[in-house]
Structure 1
Amino acid sequence: MESNALGEYLKARRELVQPADVGIRVTGVRRVAGLRREEVAMLAGISSDYYLRLEQGRDRHPSEQVLGALAQVLQLDALATEYLIGLARERPRAAPKPRREIVPTGILQLLGVLEQPAFVEGRSFDVLASNPLAVALSPRLAVGGNRMRDFFLDEDERSFYPEWEQAAGGLVASFRSSVGTGTPDPGIVQLVGELSLGSEEFRRLWARHDVKMRQGASTRLRHPEVGDLTLEREKLEIAGSDGLLLVIYHAERGSESEGLLRLLESLHAPASPTSAAGSTMSEGFSSPGRARPDEWPASGR
């Protein structure tokens, strides 16, 4: 997605660290955001020229010792440090072929019996399978959707999430972490390009190069039929699936939100859980992030 991913990451993180954060006293007017290149080099114990080569992409494979020193200066946590090290690894020259993400049969069966809204999320945040209550909660959780595309390009998402602005940063950071540091497949490149062209907020957040684990959280939702709900969102890794997650929404027992969730269930007639293979659950499908929207399954939107 970036021809100089390591350099772009170093520059973005450097600009987020303030001199006072690393014990540098500021005098006069500074014309750069965050730290200067020479300040990072000094604190990391490397030459300014070498650090400049790293940012400019003229040296893309520093030692782990150098990366560790830079991570400390840039105040990276363990996940961000791992991401930095991954950027410096040798990459295959050829781009990987698009991967077919298959939802295990057992997970499809589980979706059919869960009494909570649930769906399966792919590495690039495609909705690979979902149950009827998930679609009742949001039609954008139907098979064939993409959580990133819907969140940033569908205006309905802003009214659905009262805390949209607060959630946006974490979503982008989780997406960057999920797609990883290897050579991205063409579908991911296309998705990032589409989001960058269509959303100024995505461009701003993507440029920060934040990374964050894909994890659950308490979420406030504003549903057009039943009103405001506060739900817990769990993200459970599916063993042996190379990055697929089972996402489940649930309400605190006895809460108003639990009652509203049951009301929502009663308002929508039960239907067989859907997947991209047809109108009933099956073994999965090629995720829509790797296909044009007009190639999505008819049952997906």
Structure 2
Amino acid sequence: MANKELGDFLRARRTGLTPEEIGLPVELGVGRRVTGLRRAEVARLAGVSAEYYTRLEQGRAGQASEQVLLALSDALRLDDVERRHLFTLAGTASRARDRGEHSARLRPAMRQVLESMDLCPAYVRDGNLEIVAGNALWALVFPDIATLPRRERNMVRWTLLDPRARLVWCDWERVARDYVHVLRLAAADQPRNQRITNLIGELMVRSPEFPAWWSEHRVHERSTGRKRIHHHIVGDLELQFEIFTPVADPSLSMLVYSAPTGSPSEERLRLLASWGSEHTATAPRGADADS
């Protein structure tokens, strides 16, 4: 399976490049029958034989050396995340211990940090990409996922399968594709994680877009960026995000959204937080659900 994944990834990257992009001469008047680069062209750029590269794509070459993988990374113009992914698929990178069967518990100190952020929607996810906990403002920004049972609180699953996600994410396709790339990395890092395997199977069956996006073998790992969110009460929010991994709990990641100081989005977050406080204060006893 690992060799097949490696071959599929190499093939996807090869077909995504053109001779012009890597400085190969283009033969005028000669049509190309392949999409992207030929196997022989990649082999020549990497300094390996065409026969050996063909066996790599077909999953018949055995263990590739670090030198060969570095040469292929350069030949295929891989970025840092794609390069790490290639080494993982080849079995030469140190794999993270599969964490899928057991969700990490949130330490009280980390929960306190999470809940202390009054104006920053934030949540913590585990190695299964499932949301372990979110603060009050995050639950107000994403009420549809915050009210789901714990095992169903997965941003990848919700974004691709819940029709309401298309209304929440202003750039739904870009966000959904990003989550597919995150899932691809998680699957490679944790090949025995049954919950991730099950999620991939579910998305293959239920998401019309997922099979094509998954077959692209794209990977990336964003630790910062921006997202545009439409909220049904306060309107559009443009938020920046940062992802932190605590040293004491490397299987967890905390994603924190924030709005630029003085921006309309910051004012809308304040309004939403105020609305949430008033709603909580006036709710009848027993109305708060354990999320």
* Aligned equivalent of 2:79, options 64, 77, 84: 77
Correspondence for 1:276: none
Give the AA of the match of 2:114. Answer: L
Does the CA-based 8 Å contact 2:228-2:237 persist in structure 1? Answer: yes
- Percent identity at matched positions? 36
Kindly provide the amino acid, as one letter, of the partner of residue 103 in structure 2.
R
Q: Does 1:114 align with 2:117?
A: yes
Post-superposition Cα deviations, 1:241-262, rounded to whole Å, max 9, x if no partner, equal 2231111122122221111111
Moved more, 138-147 or 73-82: 138-147
Residues 25-174 of structure 1 mapped to structure 2, 5 A cutoff:
25-27=25-27, 28-89=30-91, 98-115=101-118, 116-142=120-146, 144=150, 145-174=153-182
Deviation at residue 180 of structure 1 after TM alignment: 3.6
Higher RCO, Cα 8 Å, sep 6+? 1
Structure 1, 58-67 or 134-143: larger mean CA deviation? 134-143
Query: TM-score scaled to structure 2, two decimals?
Result: 0.85
C-alpha deviation, 1:97, in angstroms: 6.7
The one-letter code of the counterpart of 1:23 is: G
Give 2:61's aligned amino acid: D
- Farther-moved stretch of structure 1 (11-20 vs 211-220): 211-220
Which consecutive residues of structure 1, in runs of 5 or more, have no partner in the other structure?
272-278, 281-297
Q: In structure 1, how many angstroms separate the alpha carbons of the residues matched to 2:138 and 2:290? A: 14
Structure 1 residues 124 and 96 mapped into 2: Cα distance closer, same or farther (>3 Å)? Answer: closer
2: distance between equivalents of 1:220 and 1:43? 41
Counterpart position of 1:283: none
Read off the aligned partner of 1:53 and give its amino acid letter.
R
**Deviation at 1:22?**
2.0
Q: Is the Cα contact below 8 Å between 2:127 and 2:251 reproduced in 1?
A: yes
Residues of 2 paired with 1:180 and 1:104: CA distance?
A: 27
Instruction: Report the equivalent of 1:199.
Output: 207
TM-score, with normalisation over the residues of structure 1?
A: 0.83
**Deviation at residue 213 of structure 1 after TM alignment:** 1.9
Conservation of the 8 A alpha-carbon contact between 1:122 and 1:128: yes
Inter-partner Cα distance in structure 1 for 2:12 and 2:24: 19
1:184-235 Cα distance to aligned partner (Å, 9 max, x none): 3111110111112222322222222222123121221110111111112221
Number of aligned residue pairs: 275
Give yes or no for contact 2:100–2:195 (8 Å, CA) kept in 1.
no
**Conserved? CA contact 1:41–1:47, under 8 Å:** yes
CA contact (8 A) 2:126 2:132 kept: yes
Shift of 1:268: 1.8
Name the amino acid aligned to 2:117: L
The question of whether the paired residues in 1 share the 8 Å contact of 2:3 and 2:90 is answered with no
Structure 1: which 4+ aligned runs deviate by more than 4 Å? none
Native 8 Å contact 1:119 1:141 kept in 2:
no
| Structure 2: tracts of 5 or more residues without a match | 281-286
Relative to structure 2, which stretch is displaced further, 149-158 or 2-11?
2-11
Q: Is it true that 1:228 corresponds to 2:231 in the alignment?
A: no
User: Any conservation in 1 of the 2:224–2:242 contact (CA below 8 Å)?
Assistant: yes
TM-fit CA distance, 1:183: 2.3
What are the Cα deviations for residues 91-137 of structure 1, in whole angstroms up to 9, with x where unaligned? 99xx8872332222211122222202111022332111011211110
